[in-house]
C-alpha cells in the first residue's frame, strides 16, 4: 500500500491504519487499497471489484455515491462554509431526526459518536448529581476513557480487555454487567444505590457480533432505571435509522431519556448527535451549566449529506432492505450450515468456526467483509440479487 514517494501506510500510521478495526491482523494479509465505490461495490487500486458489506461500518445505508447525496454535498460545498453559526440545513436535519425519533425533543450535533456519548453522559451526571455509569460487556460506546472496559469488537479482535492510559480512578466510575441480564443490572443498581447516573446500552448489540435484545430486556431496563432514578441512554450510533425509521427505540417500543446518534445521520461524513428530553438537554450550554462545544459541529456539508440520506429512507426502502438482508441470511444458512447467523434488519453477523479462512475465501471470490468476527455486516439499499448471489457463490466455495 504505497503513498507518496516510497512511503507506505505502515510508515505513516500506527499499524498502518487510522482506526484499529481496519487492520487485517485477525485475518492475515494486507487490506486492499480502495479507490472508488458505487452502489454496493468498491474497487481497489489494482482494479479488483468487490461486493462491499463494510459500507464504512454503517453510514452508507444507501450505498456508495448515491446521486441525491452527491448532489446535496456538491451544492452545500459550492455555497461555502462552514460559517460558525447555525444554518438552515442544520435546522432541517434536526427537525427530520426529531420527527422520526419523538424521544428526542432537543438535540445537539457533534462530530463523532465518541463525542456524542461523552457529552450525553456528562448531561446525565449533571442531571442526577451522580458519578457512576453502568454499561454492558461487549457494547462499544466510543473510545472515551471511562467506556473502554470490555468494549466490543475492536478490543476483542485485538485481544485487549481495555486500554492502556485509562486511569484507575476513571475506570472505577464504570460498572460493567453482562448484556441481556436484567438480574445483573438490578443487583448492580442495588449495590450502588443512589450512585448510578445512567445506564447506557446498544439496544441491539452490534460490536460483539449482532446480538438482539432478549424479550423484555429493554423494557426491563426502562423499568429498573426509572425505579432507581437513573437515566436510560440508548446508543443508536449503529441502529439509528438503520433497523427501523425511528431506530431500535421504535422497533422495540422503548423510549429512552437520552439517545446518541451517528453514522446514517451524516450520510457517510463525520457526524454525531445526542438528544432527548427537553429538560435534560436544556442543561447544555448556553441554556444550562453543562459545557460542550465544537468548531465544526453542524457543518453544512455534513448536514446536507445527512438530510439527503434521511429523505430517501421511506417505507419502500426499509422493505427492500429487509428483503435483501433476509435473502442473504437464508443463503448463508444454506451455503454454510455450520455457521450461526444473527440478524436484525440490515445488520448481520455470520459466526463460523474459522473466520479467517471464511473471510479470505470470500475476498478471493470478490466479497469484502469487515476483517473481524465481531463486526456486523451492513446491507445497503444498493445491494441487489446479483450481489447476494455472488456472495452465496463465494460462501459455498469457502
- CA–CA distance, 274 with 259 (Å, rounded to integer): 6
Q: What do you get for the CA distance between the two ends of the chain, in Å?
A: 26
Reference 370, options 203, 362, 65; nearest CA is 362
What the block records as the C-alpha cell of 150 is: 470490555
What amino acid positions are annotated as catalytic residues? 140, 235, 263
- CA–CA distance, 33 with 77 (Å, rounded to integer): 26
Cis peptide before 82 (omega within 30 of 0): yes
Query: Taking the alpha carbons of 55, 378, 265, 128 in that order, is the dihedral positive or negative?
Result: negative
- CA–CA distance, 159 with 83 (Å, rounded to integer): 43
In terms of C-beta density within 10 A (0-12 exposed, 13-18 middle, 19 or more buried), how is residue 235 classed? buried
What is the crossing angle of helices 67-78 and 300-312, to 10°? 160
Pairing state of beta strands 41-44 and 49-52?
antiparallel
Reference 377, options 54, 27, 51; nearest CA is 54
- CA–CA distance, 259 with 110 (Å, rounded to integer): 13
Reference 29, options 359, 352, 350; nearest CA is 359
- C-alpha distances (whole Å) from 188 to each of 2, 145, 149 are 50, 21, 16
Cβ atoms 51, 387 nearer than 8 A = yes
In terms of C-beta density within 10 A (0-12 exposed, 13-18 middle, 19 or more buried), how is residue 315 classed? exposed
Amino acid at each position: 500500500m504505497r503513498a507518496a514517494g516510497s512511503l507506505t501506510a505502515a510508515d505513516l500510521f500506527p499499524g498502518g491504519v487510522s482506526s484499529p478495526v481496519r487492520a487485517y491482523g485477525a485475518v492475515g494479509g494486507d487490506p486492499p487499497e480502495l479507490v472508488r465505490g458505487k452502489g454496493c461495490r468498491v474497487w481497489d487500486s489494482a482494479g479488483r471489484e468487490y461486493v462491499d458489506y463494510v459500507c464504512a461500518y454503517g453510514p452508507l445505508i444507501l450505498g456508495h455515491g448515491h446521486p441525491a447525496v452527491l448532489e446535496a454535498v456538491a451544492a452545500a460545498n459550492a455555497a461555502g462554509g462552514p460559517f460558525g453559526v447555525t444554518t438552515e440545513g442544520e435546522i432541517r436535519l434536526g427537525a427530520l431526526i426529531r420527527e422520526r425519533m419523538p424521544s428526542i425533543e432537543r438535540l445537539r450535533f457533534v462530530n463523532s459518536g465518541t463525542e456524542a456519548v461523552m457529552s450525553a453522559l456528562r448531561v446525565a451526571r449533571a442531571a442526577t448529581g451522580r458519578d457512576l455509569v453502568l454499561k454492558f460487556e461487549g457494547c462499544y460506546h466510543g473510545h472515551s476513557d471511562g467506556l473502554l472496559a470490555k468494549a466490543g469488537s475492536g478490543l476483542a479482535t485485538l485481544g485487549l480487555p481495555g486500554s492502556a492510559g485509562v486511569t484507575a480512578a476513571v475506570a472505577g466510575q464504570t460498572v460493567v454487567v453482562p448484556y441481556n441480564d436484567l438480574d445483573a443490572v438490578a443487583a448492580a443498581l442495588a449495590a450502588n444505590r443512589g450512585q448510578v447516573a445512567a445506564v447506557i446500552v446498544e439496544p441491539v448489540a452490534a460490536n460483539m457480533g449482532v446480538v438482539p435484545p432478549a424479550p423484555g430486556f429493554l423494557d426491563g431496563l426502562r423499568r429498573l432505571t426509572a425505579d432507581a432514578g437513573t437515566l436510560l441512554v440508548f446508543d443508536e450510533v449503529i441502529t439509528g435509522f438503520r433497523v427501523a425509521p425511528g431506530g431500535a427505540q421504535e422497533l422495540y417500543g422503548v423510549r429512552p431519556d437520552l439517545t446518541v446518534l451517528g453514522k446514517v445521520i451524516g450520510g457517510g461524513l463525520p457526524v454525531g448527535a445526542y438528544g432527548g428530553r427537553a429538560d435534560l438537554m436544556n442543561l447544555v450550554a448556553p441554556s444550562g451549566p453543562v459545557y460542550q462545544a465544537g468548531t465544526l459541529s453542524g457543518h453544512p456539508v455534513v448536514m446536507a449529506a445527512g438530510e439527503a440520506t434521511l429523505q430517501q429512507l421511506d417505507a419502500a426502502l426499509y422493505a427492500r432492505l429487509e428483503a435483501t438482508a433476509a435473502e442473504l441470511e437464508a443463503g448463508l444458512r444454506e451455503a454454510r450450515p455450520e455457521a450461526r447467523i444473527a440478524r436484525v434488519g440490515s445488520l448481520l453477523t455470520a459466526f463460523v468456526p474459522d473466520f479467517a479462512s471464511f473471510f479470505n475465501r470470500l475476498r478471493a471470490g470478490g466479497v469484502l467483509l469487515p476483517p473481524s468476527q465481531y463486526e456486523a455486516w451492513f446491507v445497503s439499499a444498493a445491494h441487489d440479487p446479483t450481489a447476494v448471489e455472488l456472495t452465496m457463490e463465494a460462501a459455498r466455495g469457502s
